[in-house]
Amino acid sequence: MSGPDELAQLEAMKSYRSFTHGQEIVAAGEAMGFVASVVSGHVALRRTMADGRRQMVGLLFQSDFLGRPDRDGATYDAEAIGDVTLCRFERAKFGALLATSPNLQTRLLEMTMDELDASREWLLLLGRKTAREKIASFIALVGKRAGTLDSARPAEGAAFELPLSREDIAEYLGLTIETVSRQMSALRRDGLIDLITPRMLSVTSYQGLLDSAGDDPEPL
Amino acid sequence: MSGPDELAQLEAMKSYRSFTHGQEIVAAGEAMGFVASVVSGHVALRRTMADGRRQMVGLLFQSDFLGRPDRDGATYDAEAIGDVTLCRFERAKFGALLATSPNLQTRLLEMTMDELDASREWLLLLGRKTAREKIASFIALVGKRAGTLDSARPAEGAAFELPLSREDIAEYLGLTIETVSRQMSALRRDGLIDLITPRMLSVTSYQGLLDSAGDDPEPL
DNA sequence: CGATATTTTGACCCGGCTCAACCCAAGTGG
DNA sequence: CCACTTGGGTTGAGCCGGGTCAAAATATCG
């Protein structure tokens, strides 16, 4: 989307950095010094309360953007889920390029607005959905982003992997590990999904899953 | 923040439109045709589930931005809270100006990222906070945005108005009206706030309120 | 004032949390 | 090779915060 000029400049300021599973990328409040794009793996963003309660507030997939070009302190903890490679850009330089590159800025604005929309969908999930609906929504989401599930081409029966542990799923959905586990079992019992291993599953009835997720039918 | 040129162009394409309390500004899925800035009043963004459960997913204050320049369908319902005046810009024209105006784009990107951060704070609230913490957080938030509360200059005892009804507060916090009412009463009983009328209150103990909100002490 | 909408309060119930076992696979060292 | 650990995941029993249903109390407005 960006012109050859921007690409060359980005190329010049980029550097790769890898993280292993569970490794902290930045802690909330810490100076970051860079912004980055996720090359591979997943990144969890979390907020932690004084007494230890934790909520995941962002889950970045490949090509998602991390950090704010216009300020240095990280707003939340960022942790590598699985092995992660980031393509990092020094924050100040990136900001300078951004200010003069409408194409790059347009792209970033669009991505940020998509994140905001996703985040608002998440608000509905946390505020109003039942545990079963949360789990069903989560499985549908992961299946979609993994490319396995698709409203047009459901591909029922195809297995895919959950990138998150039960604990991470619980932090994503505002539940406890136990409730996550129980609802997974319930969906299996009800014949909507097939749990091959705890991390690996296939969707037996995509429609049933969407019904259980309580989502609007409209795929937009 | 924008140069005189952009301002002139914006001036040329703007038009004001007013809404009365409770009036629908756009419905989810509907074509919007414009983007807008909130001149006065408040705007609630909501998502509604098939069975009627509703969750507020955005609450816009003066000068906040509404709509996406890059696509036409509204993603959520937008409703006027109190009497609202919007400054509207025809979407296509605004998008064209945006593409050529780095200043304007920078400003919009910054605002969108602020919204995203606020939204993620909200995720923590919905996912992990108790009813009492939710209410305390909400009162602190409104007091801050109303300018009455300030960590530096708490101004305890100064009254301010809640822009939302109990029902709207419930939709904001992922609670029921009854729980909102009960927790308000509890905070009054505990001597943290003073309810002059249901809509008008003053904070007796700002520190106590923040403690009850469970927020990190860091004002960043 | 009367009428209607909003808010508050009460009694009871239930979904999801807590606490506590138990299961199971993958090391690890004797 | 097998006892032991370790770390996820599952399942059960019981409890409690917040939901539901119902009624009373207050605001707001003609």
Q: Is the CB of A170 under 7 A from strand D?
A: no
Say whether pLDDT at A154 is over 70.
no
pLDDT confidence of residue B140:
97
**Rounded CA separation B29/B109 (Å):** 24
pTM of the model: 0.96
Binned at pLDDT 50, 70 and 90, residue A5 comes out as confident
Using pLDDT thresholds of 50, 70 and 90, give the confidence band for residue A216.
confident
Four-residue CA torsion sign, B199, B204, B210, B211: negative
Say if residue A2's pLDDT is above 70.
no
- pLDDT band, residue A7 (cuts 50/70/90): confident
pLDDT (0 to 100) of residue B215: 86
Q: Report the pLDDT averaged over residues A25-36.
A: 96
User: What is the pLDDT at residue A218?
Assistant: 55
Please give the pLDDT value at position B154.
66
Contacts of B68 in chain A (CB under 8 A): 113
The crossing angle, in degrees rounded to 10, of helices B91-100 and B102-128 is: 110
> pLDDT, tens digit, for every residue of B107-151?
999 999 999 999 999 999 999 999 999 999 999 999 999 887 777
d(CA B215, CA A76): 14
pLDDT of residue A219: 47
Tokens of A66: 């991390």
pLDDT, mean of residues A8-14: 91
* Confidence at residue B219, expressed as pLDDT on a 0 to 100 scale: 47
Residues of B in contact with A31 (CB under 8 A): none
Q: Which helix (H) or strand (E) holds B202?
A: strand B200-203
A24 membership: H or E segment, kind and range:
strand A24-26
Q: Do B113 and A220 touch (CB under 8 A)?
A: no
Most confident of A70-79, A149-158, B208-217: A70-79
**For residue A98, what pLDDT is reported?**
96
Q: What is the pLDDT of residue B43?
A: 98
Rounded mean pLDDT of A111-138?
98
- Between chains, do A99 and B102 touch, taking CB under 8 Å as contact? yes
Name the phi and psi angles at A108, rounded to 5. Answer: -65, -40
Provide the residue-wise pLDDT of chain B in tens; the chain has 220 residues. Answer: 556 788 888 999 999 999 999 999 999 999 999 999 999 999 999 999 999 999 999 999 999 999 999 999 999 999 999 999 999 999 999 999 999 999 999 999 999 999 999 999 999 999 999 999 999 999 999 999 988 777 766 677 889 999 999 999 999 999 999 999 999 999 999 999 999 999 999 999 999 999 999 987 654 4
- Looking at residue A146, its pLDDT comes to 86
Q: Is A173 on the interface with B (CB under 8 A)?
A: yes
Kindly list the residues from chain B whose CB atom is less than 8 angstroms away from the CB atom of residue A126: 123, 126-127, 174
The residue with greater pLDDT, B11 or A132, is A132
Cα A188 to Cα A193: distance, rounded to the nearest angstrom: 5
Please choose, from the candidates A220, A202, A14, the residue with its C-alpha nearest in 3D space to the C-alpha of residue A114.
A220
From the Cβ of B197, is strand D under 7 Å away? yes
Instruction: Write the Ramachandran bin of B217: left for phi over 0, alpha for psi from -120 to 50, otherwise beta.
Output: alpha
Query: Does A217 have pLDDT greater than 90?
Result: no
CA of B154 to C1' of D26 (A): 31
